[in-house]
Structure 1
Amino acid sequence: MVKILGIKLNTEPKTEILNRIRSWLSSPRQHYIVTPNPEIVLLAQKDEEYFYILNHADISLPDGIGLKFAALTLGKNIPRITGSDLTQDILIMAQESQDPILIINWEKGLSSANDISVALENIYPRLQFEIWDVDRAEALKPDWKPRATIAKIMFAALGAPYQEKFIFHQLAKIPTVKVALGIGGSFDFLTHKIKRAPKLMRRLGLEWLYRVISQPINRKKRLKRIYNATCVFVVKVINWRFILPFKYRPNVACLLYKIENNQSQILLVERTEEPGHFQLPQGGTDGLSLKAAAIKELGEELNSGKFTVKAVFQNLYRYKIDPKKNGYNRAAGYQGQKQGLVIAEFNGQDSDIRINFWDHSSYKWVPADKLIDESHPVRREGYKIYLKKLKSII
């Protein structure tokens, strides 16, 4: 396993991956596979839910020469396994084992259900399959309901990030499926809506470039995608690998309190990745002022804007990040964080708080005099400073 910009990638050869998939078909548990490319990795930097979903896949395969080069900066030579190749390998496997497949197809994609059906019948005549054309926005809604199916393998051809989010949120509603994977436009090659890159480009790892050039999108969008997958990604990787390890990430801690029975109660949240690790809501400032960053962070983590900022304190505490315990943390790459503090008063009800599953698993209110004891040990030194600031304003 290797991480590129915080995204986990498997390093096993394709034969081992296929053997694992084959064994999962008789497993009682459901599994899902993702195939990140540089564009997807960049997208995950701006979408915390997507970041979480990618990192919780059972298999994450590097699809793109950019990821292979990025891994080389870590001294890792990882195999490149494209989603298109994996799709065809699994289709062959399913035909041989007679395991039925289900294709979740974007109704506005290049290939219609009929196009895919004709192609599969010609190429894999003994394959058992069914195809559902869906509106990808509707398919992500909590009340989405699937039809009855006996499929054991599911391909989601909805494009990123829709297909991965669909699998994560809706797979449990299709209990017969044991293996699900997001494959983007892989079926467009089988239907000949898009020609596959010449073998030389594939060997050089430039299939993504050929695919972008071939897609029927406007020139401006095409150039933007090429720019992101090359220039932006390369700069991000160089910065992440060789510059950030010497820097501290600007960060804001959000001390949210309420007054009950003349006593201050402070909100603590439990990290999803570390059960029992309670802390104040916090996050990177990402170029914003401390106040703006705190408002954004509380809004995103609690899904509530029912608070009033009371005070802002710059540069109160600095700490290093333990790389072995960093877990799900987009600050990965920095040697540590330099933290300011924003104190805000909560003026809503507990029912107004809806924490995001990718950030936190629970929350609790604790008396101010119990904050240190109730917080994770690594947080306590900084929180002693923050408590003094709270007492100075209330």
Structure 2
Amino acid sequence: MELLGVKIDNFSLIEVLQKIQGFLVDGGQHQIATVNPEFIVLAQKDREFREILNRADLNVADGFGIVLAARLTGKKIMRVAGVDLIENLRLRLGNNKIFLFGGENGAAEKAARDWPVVIGFSENPENAVELINGCQPDILLVALGAPKQEKWITQNLAKIPSVKVAIGVGGAFKFLSGQVRRAPRWLRRIGLEWAWRTIMEPSRIMKVWRSVIVFGWLVLKARAIAAKDAVG
């Protein structure tokens, strides 16, 4: 489906993992985006970012707001949270070599300690391509935040030929390293993980504003325009 000009793929977590398994053996290089409401908001004014998302091999719906917005248009889409995707990569695709790039405050290093197939990590963008090439990973997880991580992957993936799958993962390293505790499952089920994260990380308030208030307004505005066009 398309939401405010951005492509969203409707796959379950299991289907996404199957897609990734296929990407790893088909001989190509593939970019995956974990699209949340903030991505949609940023893409409205950042044409380059929007085009990158629409060219990505797979865009998963990472955010309850995406699910709700789809319902308003009469469509059903399955949520695949970025953290859940990475956790399942760790459990189900353990034979593939992984490199962690990005994050801050040592999150990538801490996450790597409990993940034996992680063969390298770096927070420094300046020499990242050289370090990644030296490790020859199959999967690259990039945690620079949107849209920086998606743009970095687009600009550099061809320079890292061993990488078959590159995924922008936002703040996932914070959870994998234990730096930030994830919301209880019941809060995730009712779509309030964003509120939990705001309490745990008050500095995220602008992200929440874009993801909840601005995104909600854009969706309702688009819905009203569509309804008016249908009548007139």
**TM-score with structure 2 length normalisation?**
0.90
Report the alpha carbon displacement of residue 99 of structure 1 after superposing the two structures with TM.
1.1
**1:88 and 1:204, CA in 2 relative to 1: closer, same or farther beyond 3 A?**
same
How far 1:48 sits from its partner (Å)?
Answer: 0.6
Q: Quote the Cα distance in structure 2 between the aligned partners of 1:139 and 1:244.
A: 47
- 1:255-294 paired onto structure 2 within 5 Å: none
RMSD (Å) for aligned C-alpha atoms: 2.1
Query: Shift of residue 9 of structure 1?
Result: 0.5
**Partner SS for 1:180:** strand
The aligned counterpart of 1:205 is 191
Work out the CA distance in 2 between the residues paired with 1:113 and 1:64: 23
Kindly indicate whether the alpha-carbon contact (under 8 Å) linking 2:20 and 2:165 is maintained by their aligned counterparts in 1: yes
- Any idea what the Cα deviations from partners look like across 1:8-62, whole Å, max 9, x if unmatched? 1011222111111111111210011101111111011111100111111111011
1:150 and 2:133 correspond: no
SS at match of 2:140: strand
CA contact (8 A) 2:107 2:174 kept: no
Instruction: Quote the offset at 1:244 in angstroms.
Output: 5.4
Task: Give 1:230's aligned residue.
Answer: 212
Determine the C-alpha separation between the residues in 2 that align with 1:159 and 1:41. 14
Tell me the residue number matched to 2:123. 133
Question: Is the contact between residue 157 and residue 182 of structure 1 (CA under 8 Å) also seen in structure 2?
Answer: yes
Q: Return closer, same or farther for 1:16/1:112 CA change in 2, 3 Å cut-off.
A: closer
* Structure 2: distance between partners of 1:68 and 1:113: 29
- The correspondence for 2:166, drawn from 180, 186, 192, is 180
Structure 1 residue runs of 5 or longer lacking an equivalent are 248-334, 336-394
5 Å-filtered alignment, 1:69-218, equals 69-95=68-94, 98-106=95-103, 109-118=104-113, 120=114, 124=115, 126-135=116-125, 138=126, 145-146=130-131, 147-215=133-201, 217=203
Question: Identity of paired residues, percent?
Answer: 36
Higher relative contact order (CA 8 A, sep 6+): 2
Q: Deviations over 1:235-268 (max 9, x none)?
A: 1101112215757xxxxxxxxxxxxxxxxxxxxx
CA distance in 1, matches of 2:88, 2:109: 22
Looking at structure 2, the residues matched to 139 and 236 of structure 1 have their Cα atoms a distance apart, in angstroms, of 39
Distance in structure 1 (CA, Å) of the matches to 2:43 and 2:117: 34
Deviations 1:319-366 (A, max 9, x none): xxxxxxxxxxxxxxxx9xxxxxxxxxxxxxxxxxxxxxxxxxxxxxxx
Q: What do residues 268-308 of structure 1 show as CA deviations (whole Å, max 9, x unaligned)?
A: xxxxxxxxxxxxxxxxxxxxxxxxxxxxxxxxxxxxxxxxx
- What is the total number of aligned residue pairs between the two structures? 229
1:69 and 1:216, CA in 2 relative to 1: closer, same or farther beyond 3 A? Answer: closer
Work out the CA distance in 2 between the residues paired with 1:162 and 1:216: 21
The answer to whether the Cα contact below 8 Å between 1:34 and 1:182 also exists between their aligned partners in 2 is yes
Deviation at 1:207, TM superposition (A): 1.6
Q: Which of the pair is proportionally richer in helix? A: 2
Return the letter of the residue paired with 2:111: I
Other structure's SS at 2:40 match = helix
Amino acid at match of 2:82: G
Counting strand residues as a fraction of each chain, which structure ranks higher?
1
TM-score in terms of structure 1 length: 0.55
Q: Where do 5+ consecutive residues of structure 2 fail to align?
A: none
Structure 1's 178 and 230: CA in aligned 2 closer, same or farther, altered over 3 A?
same
Letter in 1 for 2:186: L
Q: Secondary structure at the match of 1:164?
A: helix
Question: How far apart are the structure 2 equivalents of 1:8 and 1:150?
Answer: 30
